[in-house]
Amino acid sequence: MNFLKTDHEIIVIGVSTGGFKALEVILSKLPEGFNLSVIIVQHRKKDPDDFFIDYMNKKTSLHIKEAEDKESIKPGVGYIAPPEYHLLVEMDHTLSLSVDPPLKYARPSIDMLFETAAEAYESKVAGVILTGANDDGSKGLKKIRKYGGMAIIQDPVTAEAPMMPKNAIKIAGADHILSLANIGKFLGRLS
C-alpha cells in the first residue's frame, strides 16, 4: 500500500456467502468519525425483526440502515440493500430501489450497484468485493476501475466462499487484495 488517494466519497461493498461475518469484521474496523458513505449489497433473505441491521449497528461507528427509495446519500451512513430489491445510485447522488428481474440469479445485484455508483461518482468511489460463491460484482468492479475508482478485493484464501473474489480478480483486476481485517483498516484510512 504505497500511495493512498483520499478523495473518495463513497465505498460500495458486494458480498454473498459468508457475508455476515465478513461485514462484521470490516465495519468494526472503521474509526469513530468515519465520514464516507458506505453502500452494501449483501445477498440475504428477508429479516422481519431487523436483526442484521441492529447487529451491525452495534459493531460499527457508522449509522447502518436499510436503504430507502429516493434517499439522499449522506456521509457516515452505511446503506444496506433491502432483500429482493436492486439498489442503484442515481446521478444526483440519491439511492433508488428497483424490482427489475434478478441479474445472474441475484436481486439485489452487486453489478447493478457498482455500475451505477461508477457512473455517478467516477473516481470518487472505492469498490470492495468480499466472499461469495458466484461472479456477481466482477463486471461492476471493472467499470469502477474504468471510471478511475479503486478496486479492493478480499484475498480469496481468507474468504469463506472464494469464488467471488477469484472471479473479480480475473475479470476486473484489483488495486488491492487484502485480508478482511486489513480491508477494514484500509477503508478507515480513506476517510
Is residue 8 scored above 70 in pLDDT? yes
pLDDT in tens, 113-137: 999 999 999 999 999 999 999 999 9
Instruction: To the nearest 10°, report the CA torsion of 23, 26, 29, 30.
Output: -90
Helix axes 110-121, 138-146, angle to 10 degrees: 10
What is the rounded distance in angstroms from the CA atom of residue 23 to the CA atom of residue 14? 10
Active site residue 43: yes
Active site residue 37: no
Is residue 191 scored above 90 in pLDDT? no
pLDDT in tens, 62-112: 999 999 999 999 999 999 999 999 999 999 999 999 999 988 888 999 999
Cβ atoms 171, 139 nearer than 8 A: yes
Is residue 58 scored above 70 in pLDDT? yes
CATH number of 10-188: 3.40.50.180
Averaged over 11-19, what is the pLDDT? 96
pLDDT at 49: 73
Is residue 3 scored above 60 in pLDDT? no
Per-domain residue ranges of the chain: 10-188
pLDDT at 43: 87
Catalytic residue among 8, 16, 135, 138: 16
Averaged over 175-190, what is the pLDDT? 95
Catalytic residue among 8, 86, 111, 136: 136
3-state secondary structure of 162: coil
pLDDT in tens, 132-157: 999 999 999 999 999 999 999 999 99
Catalytic residue among 8, 37, 43, 111: 43
Give the predicted TM-score (pTM) of the model: 0.95
Active site residue 16: yes
pLDDT at 4: 52
